[in-house]
Structure 1
Amino acid sequence: MHVTEIWIPYISADDAIGQGLRAMTHQFNLGTFGVYVFFLVSGFVIPFSVRGEGLAACRTFLIRRFFRLMPMFWFSIPLGVVTTHWMWHKDFGWDALLANVLLLPNLFDLPFAEGLYWSLQAEVTFYLLIAALLLVQGFARSSVVLSYLGVIAAGKLLEKSGLQAYHFYPVAMLVLEMLKIIFIGWLLQRLFSERRLGKMDWLLLGYLLFQYFVKRPMNAWHFYQHGERWLDHLSVTLAIVVLLLFRGLNIRHALLAYLGKISYSLYLLHPVIMYSALYHVAVTPDSFLRQWPLLWVLAGVLLLTVAASHLTWRFIEWPAQQWGKRLIVRQSVPDVKVQVQPAN
């Protein structure tokens, strides 16, 4: 999706596959669909990583999540600044850099080092919610429906607050909307792992099924009849189907496991690779990439991104996770003071 969007000026008229990919991206936002799948999987998987409740469980969870996300995220920031901004002579000051380190630039109307960081905001918010539930020992007994209703209530309060003119308003609304997608994955996780749900959870599940398997398809049909874009209205529905399909297939393959392992680096590094390729084309009129079909460009960006992601996994992600594990072990083992009794 991302590569096709930025490569549109360089897709030749006789590149049938490239023109087909361009038409597909115009009809269906594959990038947004991928984000929805990611959020559903996150809601499905992350609760499995929770062990126990209380302060110790909260601390362990936050340490694991911090060392899983932040070192690689911080490493990607300067790469994004160079390839997304400075190479194109776009302003990106120290204030924007600091705001990106804190993952809050859009709250201050500052640019992201990489445009995709917005999805990390929703993910981190989900982690903080789980941490809060663990801290108050409410994770096991708290129904997903309470969190879902809380998000809806927060959104309604923001809509009525008159704060629409402030920078944080659209950010907060987007995060709340994405949290609702994550909660669907969380609800499905509970359904498949516990095999039983409370009455409120069943009501929420029925509501969601109606929304995404009845109402959304009806809206899509309406837009289709009027000749407008309609597939985007089925993005969440299709994402849920994909999650359920792959869970049902129970696919186990070494290549998929490997791609899953390096997927975070793939996510963070593909803009670096694709904008570098675009820059080469933009500043070099006779660049060999201008002669490549879009499919070759996609393959090249993919292979380079996989290679770079392998290196960052090996030298950044994996060591960072080991540091986190050692820190957890160190904090979980209390200091033992041995008192030596004097001999009689």
Structure 2
Amino acid sequence: MKNKRLDWLDAIRGIGAIMVMILHLWEKHLEQMSTPHSIINVIIDFLIRGAYDFGKIGVVLFFAVSGFVIPYSLLRYKNKNITRFIISRFFRLYPLYWVSIILAIIFVNDSFSAKQLIANVTMFQGFLFIDNILGAYWTLQIELAFYILCVFLFMFKSLQKDYMVILNIYGWTVLALALGIIRSITGIEMPVALPLGLAVMFFGLAFRKYKFKEGSINTKTMYITLLSFLILMVPISFCAYSDSWYKYVMTYTIALLSFILLARSSNKKYTILSFLGKISYSVYLLHPIFALAVYDRLIKTEFGEIVGSYSIIVLAIICALIAATIFYYVVEKPMVKFGRFLTRKISNPDKSQISSSVYETKPKVM
């Protein structure tokens, strides 16, 4: 069977990026409204963040997709895997990220210190307890932690082992519970989101192994693991996020079940969503600049008063998608291509030795 790109994964990423952007724009909308408690606002607000968090559902979907595809980029090569992995991930993440920092400084946040700027350039600012220049950067540190873990497990030949993947899901979930308890008792804001994000990513990896029969993970193991995670989300959320604990339980439940349902429709084509998935990293990084900033600047103008906030939200989304598309083709795609060129130059492997994308595989029927 010929390799094909997994459109449903792109579709999930596209959905996730749009959900995050809609949540942030909706929060901007409520800040500007003189009647935020009107009936229509109350209804929409409930649908977006009443019983769950629309944006965090998108983030959890991102994490699950990362777990599904990222480890494969380590395992698919026959030699020099770690070097290739580091190079490909560097050119995938950093060039566009640095561009977003420059744009953020110009258009959004000019009140930062040299220390904050240097830390943000590394993308490790969260581990250094230094604020992000843009709030959206917080998820990138969790991604980096997952990459480091994957490399570590690969070095010890554990990334391929099913039991280690399952053990990581349970281990990071239990750590999240421990941090949540500490947070509840001491009031110290422990980083509960980090182990939860890692648990979701390893769930994505386990689901890949299950879906494509790349190991011995069966249906029973997969769904017992999922159920155990969702059950533990109740005390984790209650301890760490007591005021809105039910939202976190609902958010993670909806996100993971949606991920599984979309995976089961993997034979379908998602033309528009697939394209949004391809530009999703650009959308995620640039929407605070080209969506939120556009909204802020237009909503207070005469034009904004005439067309209304909802129209400005739509216009801001369109601007963000146009900007993301441009930066995808001008920055992101060329840098990813250059990263692949460098990985091929390392040892000049036979082209049949690798797939052109971690999204490509030979899917098997479930």
TM-score under structure 1 normalisation? Answer: 0.78
Q: CA offset at residue 82 of structure 1?
A: 3.4
CA shift in 2, pair 1:82/1:24, >3 Å: farther
CA shift in 2, pair 1:92/1:31, >3 Å: same
- Contact kept, 8 Å, 1:63 with 1:328, in 2: the verdict is yes
Q: Is residue 62 of structure 1 aligned with residue 58 of structure 2?
A: no
Amino acid of the residue matched to residue 178 of structure 1?
G
Q: CA offset at residue 274 of structure 1?
A: 2.9
Distance 1:5 1:160 in 2: 29
Q: CA offset at residue 332 of structure 1?
A: 1.3
Amino acid of the residue matched to residue 274 of structure 2?
A
Deviations 1:93-135 (A, max 9, x none): 1111101011233344432111011101111111111122233
Partner in structure 2 of residue 148 of structure 1: 169
Identical columns (%)? 24
Distance 1:235 1:161 in 2: 22
Distance 2:327 2:48 in 1: 29
Q: CA offset at residue 12 of structure 1?
A: 5.8
Deviations 1:280-325 (A, max 9, x none): 257xx54322343333122111111111111111110111012111
Partner in structure 1 of residue 210 of structure 2: 191
- Contact kept, 8 Å, 2:177 with 2:235, in 1: the verdict is no
Amino acid of the residue matched to residue 11 of structure 1?
M
Amino acid of the residue matched to residue 20 of structure 1?
I
- Contact kept, 8 Å, 1:96 with 1:110, in 2: the verdict is yes
Distance 2:236 2:346 in 1: 53
Q: CA offset at residue 170 of structure 1?
A: 3.2
Using the TM superposition, name which of 300-309 and 105-114 deviates more: 105-114
Q: CA offset at residue 67 of structure 1?
A: 0.9
Partner in structure 2 of residue 274 of structure 1: 291
CA shift in 2, pair 1:205/1:267, >3 Å: same
Q: Is residue 247 of structure 1 aligned with residue 263 of structure 2?
A: yes
Distance 1:289 1:25 in 2: 23
Moved over 4 A (4+): 12-19, 52-55, 152-162, 201-205, 214-220
Q: CA offset at residue 55 of structure 1?
A: 6.3
Partner in structure 2 of residue 126 of structure 1: 146
Question: Residue 31 of structure 1: which of 38, 49, 55 is its match?
Answer: 55
Quote the RMSD (CA, aligned, Å). Answer: 3.6
- Contact kept, 8 Å, 1:83 with 1:275, in 2: the verdict is no
Q: CA offset at residue 190 of structure 1?
A: 1.2
Distance 1:23 1:157 in 2: 31
Partner in structure 1 of residue 334 of structure 2: 319
- Contact kept, 8 Å, 1:4 with 1:21, in 2: the verdict is no
Partner in structure 2 of residue 305 of structure 1: 320
Q: Is residue 45 of structure 1 aligned with residue 87 of structure 2?
A: no
CA shift in 2, pair 1:328/1:216, >3 Å: closer
Distance 1:71 1:198 in 2: 37
Distance 2:114 2:24 in 1: 27
Distance 1:53 1:130 in 2: 14
CA shift in 2, pair 1:42/1:301, >3 Å: same
How many residues of Structure 1 are paired with residues of Structure 2 in the alignment? 316
- Contact kept, 8 Å, 2:100 with 2:285, in 1: the verdict is yes
Structure 2: gaps of 5 or more residues = 1-22, 238-242, 350-366
CA shift in 2, pair 1:230/1:130, >3 Å: closer
Partner in structure 2 of residue 342 of structure 1: none
Q: CA offset at residue 198 of structure 1?
A: 5.4
CA shift in 2, pair 1:319/1:19, >3 Å: same
Partner in structure 1 of residue 107 of structure 2: 83
- Contact kept, 8 Å, 1:18 with 1:293, in 2: the verdict is no
Amino acid of the residue matched to residue 150 of structure 2?
I
Amino acid of the residue matched to residue 136 of structure 1?
F
Structure 1: gaps of 5 or more residues = 221-226, 335-344
Q: Is residue 11 of structure 1 aligned with residue 11 of structure 2?
A: no
Q: Which has the higher contact order (CA 8 A, sep 6+)?
A: 2
Q: CA offset at residue 146 of structure 1?
A: 3.2
Q: Is residue 97 of structure 1 aligned with residue 97 of structure 2?
A: no
